[in-house]
Amino acid sequence: MKAVHVVLTGLGVVVVFLGLVFVIGGRPITGTVILGVGMIMAVLGLRGTRTHNVIVRNELELSGDVRLEDMKCRYCGGSLSSDRISLRAGTVFVSCPYCQREYQLEEVPKW
């Protein structure tokens, strides 16, 4: 959509220039109309597109019985809690509150 604004602004500037040529050349009514159209085109081209605020909400739903209180950190032995779970790029991570190491949670099939 940005290319449309650039083209519209450029055309508006060219039409304004042509309107000035008509006004200077002795055709004030025609030149004024062309100037007005060129200014409208330039203003519409310079107005930015409206942006919409988008709120992205990631929810994590773990399948099966997941008990993080049973999970221990491999390095320091600290308990891993559910409030330290994060979702990045579609992958579930849990971080140790003591040594700050992160683990990727993988779901193992039950069959």
Q: pLDDT of the chain along its 111 residues, tens only? A: 588 888 888 999 999 999 999 999 988 999 999 999 999 988 888 886 666 788 877 676 666 665 544 678 888 888 887 778 888 877 888 888 889 888 887 766 666
d(CA 87, CA 35): 56
pLDDT digits (tens, 9 = 90+) for 52-70: 788 877 676 666 665 544 6
pLDDT at 54: 83
pTM for this prediction = 0.43
Q: 85-88 and 102-104: which strand pairing?
A: unpaired
